[in-house]
Structure 1
Amino acid sequence: MVDIIKANAEHSDLIAKLAQQTFSESHGHSASKEDINNFILRTYNTEAIRKEFENKQVDYHLIYFNKTIAGFSKIELQCPNININDKNITKLDRIYLLEAFQGKQLGVKLLDFNIALSKKQHQNGIWLVVWTENQKAINFYTKMCFEIAGAYDFKISETHTNPNHVMYLKY
């Protein structure tokens, strides 16, 4: 059984812990251990997550599988990208599943949920960035009809960035 619920600021600690684990699982080898740990501590701490709830364009959702937390997503409505000419578009800022829950179609369910939410808000498309070396994620988004629209350097630290694709799904 799959449940997707809207998160609120009270979920900040849970989201921070999920983000720390899932980012480490998916990107932990993309930079030095020190750079990754510092990025995680800076970006995925409870207070940083709690502050994001102040932005009314941001929505977090939690996905549960058989009543066990499996991952989360974060979208930002009305978030333009210089690589995309369309107006009124949504950024899929985060969609992370714990490794133990991958391969159960939960990513598809969470992505479809966010696309439907974006469409309901009269958005014209949804975009994201994905690490160029994360072929599993690139294949997933390509299968879901996203197309590469540009490039983006994802800053891990002052001395390290990871090359990313900007991928876009036009509605």
Structure 2
Amino acid sequence: MENIIVQKVTLNDIEQLQKIGKETFLETFAAVNTEENIAQYLAEGLSKEKLLQELQDEHSEFYFSLLDNAIIGYLKVNFGASQTELKDDKALEIERIYVLKDFHGKNVGQILYKKALEIGKGKGLEYVWLGVWEENPRAISFYKKNGFVEFDKHIFKLGDDEQTDIMMKLKLTQ
């Protein structure tokens, strides 16, 4: 898909960020989690207050992927102390890459992923890491295809459900 633009999210974009965040999260996880746990995550993890706080954090960045001015996905990266774990100054965390279902398999995730690598290299970082739900084979295979290797596991709480994320990393060549 040509004509996909990657654009940094600003404070003025908070409504659109919340909308794409909720939409992609529901598409990805609603069918395999309880309604209560999904509702709790959407209310807390994607509240305007939380997104505002994350947008104002100088160690986190969000990017939209746009096609014909429509937002079709987004990326969230963290560095330094804002990483959800590790908090390694030599690392970039890809916290989220979400793409609307209609655009799966159309290179949108790859474009956002390349943007994350570009950010990591631009900051002179040594590696990129992320956590991916063990029951999301599509994402695991995407990252393995891109050279990521598993190095650990951690627990992600979705409401009252403890889910295991596989932690993966990729060395950046400078």
Asked if these proteins are the same fold (TM beyond 0.5), I'd say yes
Is 1:142 matched up with 2:130?
Answer: no
Cα deviation for residue 67 of structure 1 reads 2.6
The 5 Å alignment of 1:120-159 reads: 120-157=122-159, 159=160
Give the counterpart letter for 1:160 in structure 2: D
Runs of 4+ in 1 over 6 A off after TM superposition: none
**Does structure 1 residue 25 correspond to structure 2 residue 7?**
no
Contact 2:91 / 2:127 at 8 angstroms: preserved in 1? yes
Aligned to 1:164: 165
State the one-letter code of the partner of 2:134. Answer: T
Q: 2:92 aligns with which of 90, 93, 112?
A: 90
**CA contact under 8 A between 1:80 and 1:89: conserved in structure 2?**
no
* Percentage of pairs with the same residue: 24
Give, as a single letter, the amino acid of the residue that structure 2 aligns with 1:4.
V
Aligned to 1:115: 117
CA-based RMSD of the aligned residues comes to: 1.6
State the 1:87 CA deviation. 5.0
Contact 1:3 1:65 in 2 (8 A): yes
- Residues 46-101 of structure 1, C-alpha deviation per residue, up to 9 Å, x if partnerless? 2211111221011110111233211110101224844x9x7510110111101111
- Answer whether contact 2:78 2:95 (CA < 8 A) is retained: yes
Q: Which residue number in structure 2 is paired with residue 47 of structure 1?
A: 49
Residue 135 to residue 62, structure 1, CA distance change in 2 (3 Å)? same
Residues 1:75 and 2:73 are matched in the alignment: no
Q: Tell me the secondary structure at the aligned position of residue 31 of structure 2.
A: coil
Aligned residues: 168
Cα distance in 2 between the residues matched to 1:80 and 1:67:
31
Match of 1:60 among 46, 59, 62: 62
Question: What is the aligned partner in structure 2 of residue 106 from structure 1?
Answer: 108
Contact persistence 1:60–1:74 (CA under 8 A): yes
> Which has the larger displacement, 86-95 or 43-52?
86-95
| 3-state SS of paired residue (2:124) | coil
- TM-score, normalising length: structure 2: 0.90
Unaligned runs of 5+ in 1: none
Q: What is the rounded CA distance, in whole Å, between the counterparts of 1:94 and 1:11 in structure 2? A: 17
CA contact (8 A) 1:77 1:123 kept: no
Distance 1:153 1:9 in 2: 30
